[in-house]
């Protein structure tokens, strides 16, 4: 059976660059050419395979999605994404925050598709469907926080990026994705909630900058002090305030 596009269900097979090729070209070669490792989950087994964060590709989407909305999403973050990864000062308005949160989730999804080959997948199908149908994250049951994180290593040799997913199950099922590229890191939270419920706004703890839902005003990035890499790594799925929606 031909593989289906994870977003629209059409025939998959279009090669998608997990990180845009222009991004890998613009980043210092010392970072993008360094190889690392990642876990590969297939057939109930976990293998550790060699991995290049900057140039990985997947074939889980169709040409229409890849060259259509996914390509437009990449274009919407292109004007400022490299500055973010280099920790350069920049102002992000509501439109940029929305684009950045959406792009981060799309990128995390593609990266995880390269590592988890079978179901169950850490990100439920409903979240792919939401991203495809609405072109952004759910205001009701998803949150995103941006962090300014000091990359491990020094200026000559650091690991350019990493990704982690942590499913959690408290009263509600959900997952946390942590994606870092250079000095820019983002924490995405998604919870499965009954229709009458929503999650509250995230607080500004641990130098977190709320990114989604987008803030009404622009903010200046980066914050004054970066978060140590170890603190970022150790960050657990946080306690979320879940409440009944006003009727």
Scanning 6-14, 18-26, 98-106, 186-194 for contacts with Zn ion by CB under 5 A, the matching segment is 6-14
- Considering only residues 61 through 120, tell me which ones interact with Zn ion, judged by CB under 5 A: 62, 65
| Residue 10 structure tokens | 């059409």
Q: 31-67 burial, b for 16+ CB within 10 Å, e for fewer?
A: bbeeeeebeebeeeeeeeeeeebbebebebbbeebbe
What does each C-alpha distance from 183 to 89, 99, 106, 205 come to in angstroms? 12, 18, 19, 18
Do 60 and 110 contact (CB within 8 A), yes or no?
A: yes
Cα three-residue angle 196-201-205, rounded to 5 degrees? 145
Q: Does 193 bind Zn ion (CB under 5 A)?
A: no
- Considering only residues 37 through 66, tell me which ones interact with Zn ion, judged by CB under 5 A: 62, 65
Sign of CA dihedral 14, 18, 23, 27: negative
Q: Does 177 bind Zn ion (CB under 5 A)?
A: no
Determine the size of the site formed for Zn ion (CB under 5 A). 6
- Min dist. Cβ of residue 71 to Zn ion (A): 12
- Taking the C-alpha atoms of residue 41 and residue 112, their distance in angstroms, rounded to an integer, is 10
Nearer to Zn ion by C-beta: 8 or 240? Answer: 8
Nearer to Zn ion by C-beta: 105 or 186? Answer: 105
Scanning 1-9, 72-80, 212-220, 223-231 for contacts with Zn ion by CB under 5 A, the matching segment is 1-9
- Min dist. Cβ of residue 168 to Zn ion (A): 29
- Min dist. Cβ of residue 100 to Zn ion (A): 22
Nearer to Zn ion by C-beta: 61 or 142? Answer: 61
214 by Cβ neighbours in 10 Å (0-12 / 13-18 / 19+) ranks as buried
Nearer to Zn ion by C-beta: 13 or 223? Answer: 13
Nearer to Zn ion by C-beta: 62 or 193? Answer: 62
Q: Does 31 bind Zn ion (CB under 5 A)?
A: no
By CB under 5 A, name the binding residues for Zn ion: 5, 7-8, 10, 62, 65
């Amino acid at each position: 059976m031909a593989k289906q596009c994870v977003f629209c269900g059409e025939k998959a097979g279009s090669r998608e660059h997990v990180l845009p090729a222009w991004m890998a070209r613009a980043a210092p070669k010392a970072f993008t050419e360094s190889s690392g490792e990642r876990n590969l989950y297939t057939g109930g087994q976990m293998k550790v395979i060699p991995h290049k964060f900057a140039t990985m590709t997947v074939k889980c989407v169709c040409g229409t999605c890849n060259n259509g909305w996914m390509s437009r999403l990449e274009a919407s973050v292109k004007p400022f994404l490299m500055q973010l990864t280099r920790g350069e000062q920049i102002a992000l308005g509501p439109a940029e925050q929305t684009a950045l949160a959406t792009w981060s989730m799309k990128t995390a999804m593609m990266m995880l598709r390269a590592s988890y080959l079978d179901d169950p997948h850490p990100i439920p199908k409903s979240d792919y469907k939401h991203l495809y149908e609405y072109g952004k994250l759910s205001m009701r049951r998803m949150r995103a926080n941006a962090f300014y994180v000091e990359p491990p290593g020094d200026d000559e040799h650091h690991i350019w990026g990493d990704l982690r997913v942590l499913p959690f199950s408290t009263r509600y099922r959900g997952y946390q994705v942590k994606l870092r590229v250079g000095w820019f890191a983002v924490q995405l939270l998604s919870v499965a909630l009954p229709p009458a419920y929503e999650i509250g706004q995230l607080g500004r703890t641990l130098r977190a900058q709320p990114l989604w839902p987008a803030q009404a005003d622009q903010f200046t990035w980066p914050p004054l002090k970066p978060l140590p890499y170890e603190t970022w790594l150790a960050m657990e799925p946080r306690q979320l305030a879940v409440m009944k929606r006003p009727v």
